[in-house]
Chain A
Amino acid sequence: MTSGANTLVLPIVLPLLGAFLLPLVARFGDGLARALGIVLVVVNIFLGWTLWSAVGTEAAVTALGGFEAPLGIVLYGDRLAALFVAVLAVGALIFWPRAEHGGVKAYTLTLLLVAGGSGLVLSGDLFNIFVFYEIVAVASYGLAASSGDKAGFGAALRYLVLGALGSSLVLIGIGLVYAAAGTLNLADIARLAPEKLSGTTGLAAFLLLVLGFGVKAELFPVNTWVPEVYAAAPMRVTAILAGVVSKLAMVVILRLLVLVFHDPAAISLLMAVAIVTIVAGEFAAYRASDLNRTFAYSSIAQLGLVALALTIPATAGILAAIAVALHHAVVKPAFFVIAAKWRGPLAGLAGGARVAPAAAGLFVLLALSIIGIPPLPGFWAKLVLLGGAFDAGGAYAFAAAVVLAATVVEAAYLFRVVARIWQPAAGAKPAHFAFSDLSPALLLGVILIVATLFVAPIGTALSGAAASAADAGSYVARVLPGRM
C-alpha cells in the first residue's frame, strides 16, 4: 500500500483500534487513556489535513485488500471527505470528555464516533456506509445516555428506537437499490443509475434512504429526538452531535444526490422535506422556553438549510451546503456551551451580561453570525445559499423567500434572548462562567473571527472542494478506471 492509501485507511482504523485498546490502557491510569485518546484524535486531524493537501482535484481511491471495485470495498477520499474527517476530529478534540464525564467509557465511545464518522464520509459503497452509520449511531446512543441524568435514559432510548427504525429504512433502501442495480459500489451504481434507478423504485429507495439518514441529519419528520436528547445529554455530546455528526449524514445524502439520484422528483422531494424542516425548526425554536431547546430547534432549521442547499443544482448548491454546514459546526457547539450553564427558563437569564460579560458578548457575536450579519462568516454562507437559489430560479426562488422569512424568525428569538441577558437581574442571577466552562466556546469564537478575516481564501478552498465533490464523472472514473 502506498502512503496515499494510508491516509484513507488510518483515520478509520486508528480510532477504532484505539477505542478497543482504551479500556485496557485505562488499567494503568485514567490519565494515560485520556492522553492516548487525545493523541489519536490529533492524528486524525493531521491525517485529514494530509489527505486534503494530497488530493487536490484528483481524489484518492483505495481498494481494501487489493480487491478492485466494483467487487471489492473501496474508500474514496476527496477534499470534501478530508474536510469532514478533520472537522469531526477537531470537534472531538475541543469537546474531549474529562475524567468526571464518565472517564474511559466516554473516551471509548467518542473514539468510536470518530472512527465511524470518518468511515461514513470515506466509504465508497453503500453497505459500508450503512455499517459505519450504525457505528456512529450506537456510539451516539451510548453518549446520549451518559449524563446519568434522569431525562438521559428516556431520551436515549427514544433516540435509539427512532434511530434503529431509521437504520432499517436505510437497509430497505439499500436492498431496493441492489435489487435494481445489482451492485453496492457507489461509482458502479452511479454508472447504472440513469438506466436502472430512474423510475419509481429509485424514488422509493431515495425516500427510504433520506428518511433513514435523516434521523441523524435532523430532517423532518424523523427529528423528534433532537430536543429531548439535546436537553438531556451532556453538553459535550450535544455539541458534537449537533455540530458535526448531523453533517456527516448530510455528506452521505450529498453523495447519493450527486452520484445516484438525479430524478427531478427526488430533488423536489428533498426540497419539500428541507423547507418543512426549516419552517418547523425556526417556529419551534421561537416557541421554546429554554436555551437548550431553542438551540436544538435552531439546529434542526440550520440542517434544513443544508438540505435545501443540496437540492440546488451543480457546484453552487454543494458549496452553499458545505459553507452553511461548516459555519453551523463552529457556531452551534459554542451556543450549547453557553446553554449548558444557563439552563432553565429564559426569564431566568436576566442580568446575564452583568454576571458573565464574556459569555454575553460571545452570545451576541454568535447570534449575529448565525442570523447572517456581514462581515461574519454566517453572512457569506447564507449569501452563497441565497445566490445559488435565486440563480436557479423557479421553485428555488420560493425556497429562498422561505429562508429569508425564517431568518427573520431566527433574529426575533435570538435577540429576545439577547435583550433578556442585558436586562437588570430580577431575583436569582444567572450562573457565572468559570474560564474553563467557557473556554471551548471562546476557542470557537476565535475560530469564527479568524474565519471572518480569511473569508476569501476559505471560500476559494471550499469552492474547489465543492467542485470536485459535484463531479460525478470523475468519481466514477477514479473508482472504475476503464469502465466509463
Chain B
Amino acid sequence: MSPDALLVAEYLGRALYGGAILLIAIGIYAMVARYNLMRVLLGLALVESGVNLFLVAIGFRPEAAAPIIVGGVTDVPMVDPLPQALVLTAIVIGVGVLALAAALLIRVKETYGTLDTREVAKFLAAEPADAAPAAGTAVAGTPARETVNAGSAS
C-alpha cells in the first residue's frame, strides 16, 4: 500500500468514529426531541446504526486486509474480525426489535388513534379507574382483529 493510500485509509478510520458519534447524536436527538412515535423509532434505528458503525470502526486498521485467509497466507495484517461478527449479531437483533416495535406501533395507533407520545403518556398516567381496561377491544371504529393475546386484563 502506498503512503498516500495509507494516509487516506487512516483518515477514513477516524471519519468512521466521527460518523458513528454523529449518527448516535442525531438518533438520540430524534428520540427525545420529537413526539411522533414513528420518528422516535427512526431515531432508534439511527442510534443502532451508529453503534454498529462504532463497533466496526474499533476493528478497523488502515494498513490491514479483510480477515480472510487466501491461499494459506496468514502473516498479513488483518482487520479484527471479532467486532464484525458482533455487528452481524447486533444487526439481526436490531431488526427483530424494530420489527416488534413497528408491530406495537400499529397497535398503539389502532388503540389510541394517535402516535403522539404526549397523548399516549396521558393514557398511561390516567388513574386505572378512568382508563377502564377494555379487555381485548380496540377503539370503536377500528376493525375488530385478533388481539395479540385475547385474555383478561386481570
Chain A: residues with CB nearer than 8 A to chain B? 100-103, 105-106, 127, 130-131, 134, 137-138, 141-142, 145-158, 160-161, 164-165, 167-168, 171-172, 174-175, 178-179, 184, 228, 231-232, 234-235, 289-290, 292, 340-341, 343-345, 348
Q: Which of B1-9, B41-49, B68-76 contacts A (4 or more CB under 8 A)?
A: B41-49
A-B contacts counted at CB < 8 A amount to 156
A150 / chain B contacts, CB cutoff of 8 Å? 111-112, 123, 131, 133-134
CA–CA, A69 and B126, complex, Å:
52
Whether A168 pairs with B101 at a CB distance below 8 angstroms is: no
A145 to B104, CA, bound (A): 8
Does the CB pair A131–B89 fall under 8 Å? yes
Q: Report how far A216 CA is from B8 CA in the complex, Å.
A: 43
B55's closest neighbor in chain A, by CB?
A175
Question: In the assembled complex, which residues on chain B have CB atoms less than 8 Å from the CB atom of A165?
Answer: 28, 31, 44, 47
Q: Report whether over half of chain B's contact residues are helix, strand or loop; otherwise say mixed.
A: helix
A interface SS class: helix
A151 contact from B54, B124, B129, B154, Cβ within 8 A? B124
- Central interface residue in A152, A154, A161, by most chain B CB within 10 Å: A154
- Supposing A145-B107, A148-B151 touch, asked if A138 and B97 sit within 8 A by C-beta, the answer is yes
Question: How many interface residues does B have (CB within 8 Å)?
Answer: 53
Known: A105-B148, A141-B100, A175-B55. 7 other contacts (CB 8 A): A138-B97, A141-B104, A150-B111, A150-B133, A151-B124, A153-B104, A168-B48
Q: Taking the complex as formed, is B77 at the interface, i.e. its CB lies under 8 A from any CB of chain A?
A: no
- A23 CB to nearest B CB, Å: 14
Contact with A along B116-149 (1 / 0, CB 8 A): 0100110110111101011110000000000111
Whether A172 contacts B54 by the Cβ 8 Å rule is yes
Contacts A157-B108, A178-B82; A234 near B58 (Cβ below 8 A): no
Tell me which residues across on chain B come within 8 A of A156, comparing CB atoms: 104
- The complex places the Cα of A142 from the Cα of B117 at a distance, in Å, of 20
- Name, among A145, A175, A232, the residue most crowded by chain B CB atoms within 10 Å (CB to CB): A175
Cα–Cα distance between A149 and B137 once the two chains are bound (Å): 8
